[in-house]
Structure 1
Amino acid sequence: MGELTRFDNVRIYMNYMDTDRHQEPHFHIELSDGKEASISIATGKILAGRIDNRTHKIIIAWILIHKEELWDRWNKAVSGKNFGKIPPKINL
């Protein structure tokens, strides 16, 4: 598992070689209150888990800002390669 970024109460990460469960390019988020979700890179759709609407909207905005970087990190992660962090670039 590799952390992509942190901001506000959100930690965003990807798992290496993570293609079996969701079968769709995605990342994971963990909130400070313990809630977790898997989010589609392509659509921002919640694939698993639950998060509040406000946080989901923030995550979608973050995806739009970092879409290219997310695809780059996904391709590296599923190949088992190390990937770097992505700056938050979002003020809450």
Structure 2
Amino acid sequence: MPVISMFYGIIIRMYLLDNKHHGIPHIHAKYAEHEASISIADGEVLAGELPRKQLRLVQAWIELRRDELTADWELALGDEKLYKIAPL
């Protein structure tokens, strides 16, 4: 589960092990004991939950970094090494 970014105590990972459950490009965000899978396309929570403040931070980060996230998703599909993405 490669970590692609960290900011404000939030750890962002991207992995495809659970892709069958969601079927769309997404990231995994973890904050303390909370974790959520979040769509790259629109920032919607697919599974799990984050506190509201941290969710808004992750959604803002996705908006700013969508192209980089999409590129990393394509690399992940090809089983290639992912790039780190700048924090918020």
TM-score range, shorter-chain basis? Answer: over 0.9
Cα distance between partner residues in 1 of 2:56 and 2:3 = 20
Q: What are structure 2's unaligned runs of at least 5 residues? A: none
Separation in structure 2 between the aligned mates of residue 34 and residue 45 of structure 1, nearest angstrom: 20
Tell me the SS of whatever aligns to 1:72: helix
TM-score by length of 2: 0.92
- The secondary structure found in structure 1 opposite 2:22 is coil
Aligned mates of 1:79, 1:7 — CA distance in 2: 27
Match of 2:82 in 1: 83
Distance 2:51 2:19 in 1: 25
Structure 2 counterparts to residues 50-65 of structure 1, below 5 A: 50-65=49-64
Moved over 4 A (4+): none
Matches within 5 A, 1:12-51: 12-16=12-16, 18-31=18-31, 33-51=32-50
How has the CA–CA distance of structure 1 residues 17 and 35 changed in structure 2, closer, same or farther, with 3 Å as cutoff? closer
C-alpha separation in 1, matches of 2:14 and 2:63: 17
1:19 CA drift (Å): 2.5
Aligned to 2:65: 66
Higher helix share: 2
Query: For this pair of structures, how many residues does the alignment match?
Result: 88
The TM-score with structure 1 as length reference comes to 0.88
Q: Percent identity over the alignment? A: 34
The alpha-carbon deviation at position 15 of structure 1 amounts to 0.8
